Amino acid sequence: MNISDAWGNVLLGIGWFVLIYMILVISFYTILLVISMFQLRKSYQLDDWEPYEELLHLSQTKPVSILVPAYNESVGIMATVRSLLSIEYPEYEVIIVNDGSTDDSLEKLIETFQLVKIKWVIRQQLETQPVKAVYQSKLYKNLLVVDKENGGKADALNAGINVSNFPYFCSIDGDSVLERSAFLKVMKPIIESDGDVIASGGSIRIANGCDIESGEIVKIGLSRSPLVVMQVIEYLRAFLMGRIGLSRHNLLLIVSGAFGVFSKSWVIRAGGYAHTVGEDMELVVRLHRFVKEEKADKQIVYVPDPVSWTEAPESMKYLRRQRSRWHRGLFESLWIHKKLLFNPKYGSIGMVSMPYFLIIEFLGPVVELTGYLIMIVSLLFGGVYLEFAILLFLLSIFYGSILSMSAVLLEEWTIRKYPKASDITKLFFYSLTETLWYRPLTVLWRCEGIIDFLRKKRGWGEMARKGVSK
């Protein structure tokens, strides 16, 4: 089969663009990998508990309000609350915000923790939907439950901020389980910086396959589902490679909504959470923007070791919705704050971080999808195009599988959350298959997110929960 010279030139032209783009992206990620390796080895010692244990007794350790927005989280909310009530930290309060749930979340909480209605003066620092009642546990005086009309996750978090007592707050998803020492670790940079660090985020790991009893991880393991195992690898790559490298130079634009600590005064001054799909990223970008405009020297950091375990989607249907929504949220945050893009007024955030998230994180799936299409067309026409298709395929393996494999090795080299050698071996070999099936799927779903944004699709979409706790 022959192809006309004109179409051949177009095909090769687009192919060379994809090729050069992938080489540049691989180079950038390789730099992040090297930075992450040195940073992790510098941070971790054989016994890392001792320096954190000291924080339990220091007078300057800041009290924290833990906010848990909950909408129809009946399946996982009890494990989350139990894990939060057992954390190692000197002074904290847990505030569950029931955002108009239609299931039995509130009833379960009232019965299990013996909640009673109390009179509570709410400082309306951020505008929210009306609060119907505030409850306090008779068993745990630091446990509060806010019952309010439905307004979405951002609205629930803003209501929690209004109710909270302490200068720092942490946002936790309603299906998350924290390790006991997680708060000491995520608060350490805030305490040591004496206010210069205004936000700190920990790692998110997949709880599917782990044994969780009474809100505590008792055994770390892997799910039998290939789809979940690939998500484990994806999380390792995103957190251990991407966020460590960006955080090292104060370029971090995402603190996960599933586990992040913020200075309450700075968040209120910046306007609180906005009603967007990606409210966690949008807040962090707005904080960076606000800090630059105020000419303040503040940092937003990522700490790899403190871990929050969360339930991952086990079906294609719900994973597709999640990834599409995440990409829609990414674009929304970039679009709202497009003023920062390539703007020297905002320093490295405007000149490095925003372009990175636009060119690599947002546009990456579009370029990758183009590359897959070029490979298919090149295979059909053979000749020189076949050699080009092979070259693109080898690069895509490095871009996907090899970098993911490096993240797995980085996990084993430093943090070692997975104690069984068989689990690490499984992660290693699964990562080699990423380019063959999992990455093309996520590329398609993320491209769908762009289309959904252009169609002005709103909302999160339904997400089914099985629960990860016994």
Q: Write the pLDDT tens digit of every residue in 327-369.
A: 999 999 999 999 999 999 999 999 999 999 999 999 999 999 9
Q: Would you list the domain boundaries of the chain?
A: 1-470
pLDDT > 70? residue 433: yes
Strands (DSSP E) found in 119-215: 131-137, 143-148, 168-172, 176-178, 197-206, 211-213
pLDDT > 60? residue 469: no
For 200, 301, 337, 443, the CA distances from 189, given in Å and listed in that order, are: 8, 8, 27, 35
For 172, 238, 290, 465, the CA distances from 286, given in Å and listed in that order, are: 20, 22, 6, 31
The fold of 1-470 is: Spore Coat Polysaccharide Biosynthesis Protein SpsA; Chain A (3.90.550)
Mean pLDDT for the stretch of residues 203-229: 89
Mean pLDDT for the stretch of residues 299-321: 91
What is the spatial distance between Cα 426 and Cα 17, in angstroms, rounded to a whole number? 35
Q: pLDDT class for 217, splitting at 50, 70, 90?
A: confident
For 64, 203, 217, 229, 407, the CA distances from 256, given in Å and listed in that order, are: 17, 8, 20, 20, 19
User: What does the pLDDT read at residue 51?
Assistant: 58
User: What does the pLDDT read at residue 20?
Assistant: 93
Which of 26-30, 108-112, 116-120, 458-462 is the least confident region? 458-462
User: What does the pLDDT read at residue 384?
Assistant: 65
What's the chain's average pLDDT? 88
What number of helices (H) and strands (E) belong to the chain?
Answer: 18, 12
- Tell me how crowded residue 259 is: count the other CB atoms within 10 A of its CB: 27
Residue with tokens 């770390």: 220
pLDDT > 90? residue 46: no
pLDDT > 70? residue 38: yes
The string of pLDDT tens digits covering residues 230-255 is 999 999 998 888 888 889 889 999 99
